[in-house]
């Protein structure tokens, strides 16, 4: 990418301040009590559950260490990502996403109708993944998203597959800890993900940008799924809006840690006990940046609504139910061009 085209230019209000507040307070949670063990078999997890509950309530964001994901897998996948994006545009476009299949390479994503300064390669966790064919509520037809097969780097698909298995294991464990922190049964969320989950892994590449004060790598947004596990490599740039004071806070780089953030689905399930945090990515003029988020998404048929156990007469449901598959497809269909109206968001299901 060369000059900053007007499609990338953020509203003045959203532009990055290039002086940075780096957060020491974003919680760093040690997962040792559950590394290599089932959550149910772990003794002394009360403290851990409390820490998770606090982090979810205060930030919706935290980092985890001693998470059990082998370092070699992470190194392999980070290397593969750099090799993939290092190719010519022509090579990368051979595995571009298209109208029928949302997975693959693209460099024209928009967040809230402003173009992001990034390139992306997406790959579903379950190949094929069942999704609705259209966004029409009355149309029950389904289709599949499948993965493209880049020729380079060699074995990219296998490297992804091995890594994604680890991301899934960690996601299930984190969802158990989150369930416990809400006073629910540990396995409360499992049923939504066991069969036909729609999770996917994304490779983000943020090239250097001549005007980092005008554009963003990803504009301010909330993640739409249940949770996100992000590998942030070497260069910082992710910022989270702190609920308490509405300041943008830069997430610290901790080698080999994972950054976890809650998504909109947990916000709805918890009936706003937890919120999905707003975040964005700042680019810079000197260093390119890479990151690898894994988005943990339930099966397409999931009806998302506040959990029965968490609502009562004093705390009635704050959301109307919505169909996850329709929401997902709607988002994927609208993130690729500049449009006048906002795309689908959970506040549209809020009971006023
Ligand atoms: O690159 C990052 O640090 C975060 C990216 C992100 O927020 C996203 O892809 O949803
Ligand atoms: Fe995000």
Tens of pLDDT, residue by residue over 167-186, are 999 999 999 999 999 999 99
Nearest-CA residue for ligand 1 atom 10 is: 223
Whether 250 has a pLDDT exceeding 70, the answer reads yes
Please give the domain boundaries of the chain with CATH numbers for all domains: 6-349 (2.60.120.330)
Cα 222 to ligand 2 centroid, rounded to whole Å: 6
Ligand 1 atom 3, closest CA: 238
Is pTM beyond 0.95? Reply is no
| Number of the ligand 1 atom closest to the C-alpha atom of 232 | 3
Over range 3-18, report the average pLDDT: 75
Which atom number of ligand 1 is nearest to the Cα of residue 261?
Answer: 7
Query: ipTM of this predicted complex?
Result: 0.99
Please answer whether residues 298 and 197 qualify as being in contact, where contact means their C-beta atoms are separated by less than 8 angstroms: yes
The two structure tokens encoding residue 78: 């980070």
Q: Which ligand is nearest to the CA of 251?
A: 1
Q: How far is the CA of 292 from the centre of ligand 1 (A)?
A: 8
pLDDT digits (tens, 9 = 90+) for 271-322: 999 999 999 999 888 999 999 999 999 999 999 999 999 999 999 999 999 9
Cα 280 to averaged position of ligand 2 atoms, centre (Å): 7
Ligand 1 centroid – CA 211 distance (Å): 20
Asked whether 28 and 254 are in contact (CB, 8 A), the reply is: yes
What tokens were used for 213? 């004060």
Residues contacting ligand 1 via CB (< 6 Å): 202, 204, 218, 223, 230, 232, 238, 279, 281, 291, 293
Torsions phi, psi of 263, nearest 5? -110, 180
Question: What is the distance between the alpha carbons of residues 55 and 261, in angstroms, rounded to a whole number?
Answer: 10
Amino acid 53: pLDDT:
97
């Amino acid at each position: 990418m060369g000059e900053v085209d007007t499609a990338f230019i953020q509203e003045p209000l959203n532009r990055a301040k290039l002086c940075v507040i780096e957060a020491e307070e974003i919680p760093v949670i040690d997962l040792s009590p559950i590394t290599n063990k089932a959550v149910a078999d772990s003794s002394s997890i009360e403290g851990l559950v409390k820490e998770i509950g606090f982090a979810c309530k205060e930030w919706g964001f935290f980092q985890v260490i001693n998470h059990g994901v082998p370092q070699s897998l992470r190194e392999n996948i980070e290397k593969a990502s750099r090799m993939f994006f290092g190719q010519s545009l022509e090579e990368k476009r051979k595995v571009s996403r298209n109208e029928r299949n949302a997975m693959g390479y693209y460099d024209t994503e928009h967040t809230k109708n402003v173009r992001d300064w990034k390139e992306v390669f997406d790959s579903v966790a379950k190949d094929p993944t069942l999704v609705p064919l259209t966004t029409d509520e009355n149309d029950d037809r389904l289709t599949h998203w499948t993965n493209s097969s880049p020729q380079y780097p060699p074995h990219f698909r296998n490297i992804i597959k091995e890594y994604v298995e680890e991301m899934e294991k960690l996601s299930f464990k984190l969802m158990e800890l989150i369930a416990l922190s809400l006073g629910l049964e540990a396995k409360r969320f499992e049923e939504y993900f066991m069969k036909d989950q729609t999770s996917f892994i994304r490779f983000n590449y943020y090239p250097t940008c001549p005007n980092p004060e005008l554009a963003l790598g990803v504009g301010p947004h909330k993640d739409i799924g249940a949770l996100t596990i992000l590998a942030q490599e070497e260069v910082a740039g992710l910022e989270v809006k702190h609920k308490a004071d509405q300041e943008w806070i830069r997430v610290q780089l901790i080698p080999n840690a994972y950054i976890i953030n809650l998504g909109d689905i947990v916000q709805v399930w918890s009936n706003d006990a937890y919120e999905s945090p707003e975040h964005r990515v700042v680019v810079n003029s000197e260093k390119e940046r890479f990151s690898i988020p894994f988005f943990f998404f339930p099966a397409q048929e999931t009806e998302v609504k506040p959990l029965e156990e968490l609502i009562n007469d004093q705390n009635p449901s704050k959301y109307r139910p919505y169909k996850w598959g329709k929401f997902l497809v709607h988002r994927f269909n609208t993130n690729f061009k500049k449009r006048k109206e906002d795309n689908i968001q959970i506040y549209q299901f809020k009971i006023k």
